[in-house]
Amino acid sequence: MSAYDFSMPKTQLQQEWETRIRDFKTSGLSVKDWCAANEVKPHQLRYWLQKEKANDESSAGTQWLPVEIAQETCSDFLIVKVGSARIEVTPGFNPKLLSQVVRTLMELC
């Protein structure tokens, strides 16, 4: 089956490449030799290897922490608790800054 079979469902294509990557890694062959033996273009294998590496890196540092949202009498702000830290979020807040602060707190917990 072609590496670019667009009729194949995305999950099936991904599973096929996961199998190919496992086979490549256990083969002990170079990219060039493995690709020649398996009728795959080297740039395709490199693409999927890079994609796998990116997925591994993005999920390696993920850790879920409980977050409490306290109901206050004033509805003009939101209180977010991450661990023992308490963050007040007011209208017009900077979402990027909040994301950075929460990530930093999660690393410290």
Domain that holds residue 86: 67-108
Under the banding of pLDDT at 50, 70 and 90, the label for residue 100 is confident
Q: What is the pLDDT of residue 23?
A: 93
Residue 16 lies in a domain: yes
Coil/strand/helix, residue 35: helix
Residues 6+ positions from 52 with CB-CB distance below 8 Å:
18, 21
Per-residue pLDDT of 36-89, as tens digits, reads 999 999 999 999 999 888 777 666 666 666 776 666 555 677 887 777 778 888
Rounded to 10°, the helix 42-60/10-27 angle is: 100
54/81 same-domain check: no
53/77 same-domain check: no
Per-residue pLDDT of 1-14, as tens digits, reads 444 555 667 788 88
Backbone angles phi, psi at 85, to 5 degrees: -85, 145
Residues 6+ positions from 102 with CB-CB distance below 8 Å:
80, 82, 87
pTM: 0.47
Coil/strand/helix, residue 54: helix
Residue 28 lies in a domain: yes
Question: Total structural domains in the chain?
Answer: 2
Residue 1 lies in a domain: no
Please determine, for residue 28, whether its predicted confidence score (pLDDT) is greater than 80.
yes
